[in-house]
Amino acid sequence: MHHLTQRLESSPTLARVAPFVVFAALTSAQGLFGEGSRYWLYLVKTLFGGCLIWMVAPWVAEMRWKLSWESVVAGVLVFGFWVGLEGLYPKFGGTAKLWNPHEHFGAQSVWAWFFVLVRVIGSTVVVPPMEEVFYRSFLYRYLVNPGYQSVPLGHFGWRPFLITAGIFGFVHFEWLPAIFCAAVYQGLVVWKRRLGDAITAHAVTNFLLGMWVIWKGAWNFW
């Protein structure tokens, strides 16, 4: 543990990239060990991801949540766009099996609701700081200059803006709203010259999507 802490402290890039890479690797493993692993591994990656965020926080200065009216509006706007575009464009992944714990553990079962809660907490608390640090702080600025720490968060460039949005869209089944989402969050970072508002906006979007899934039974959004 001490060795890992030293590595994170001495490598700004590792501190910003490692949590995202580990989280993504565990995501890709969901379902490989039976249908139940889609849910258990989500729990594992949420807990592990939360621990990694806590570990790297001292060396990732920009990873500070900021609540502002702009962040809330941006989060609600992206949520509306994400839901509103449903069914109007072809998705990546085609007919992938829905993430629905009620179907696997039994309708209204305790385990089903437990994993629904885990998903809401993971997507609202763990995913936003992890993804925003990787995409909006590291990747965007790295595309401007490999010495990215010298690039202000408020810097705007069309090339890194479009490439980052495109990559963010490519890794989501819902690629079209994801591209819009990335553009809004990145624009918020540039406008406010800090990352915290985008983290909050991302959390608002994901929380509202979680509530929408629960209310409407719209498991396709998960």
The answer on pLDDT for 157 being more than 90 is: yes
If you count DSSP H runs as helices and E runs as strands, how many of each does the chain have, helices first? 11, 0
**What DSSP letter does each residue of 35-79 carry, written as one string?**
TTHHHHHHHHHHHHHHHHHHHHGGG-TT------HHHHHHHHHHH
Given a contact cutoff of 8 angstroms between Cβ atoms, the answer to whether 208 and 76 are in contact is yes
**Average pLDDT, stretch 134-147?**
97
Q: What are the tens digits of pLDDT across the range 28-54? A: 898 888 889 999 999 999 999 999 999
This prediction has a pTM of 0.94
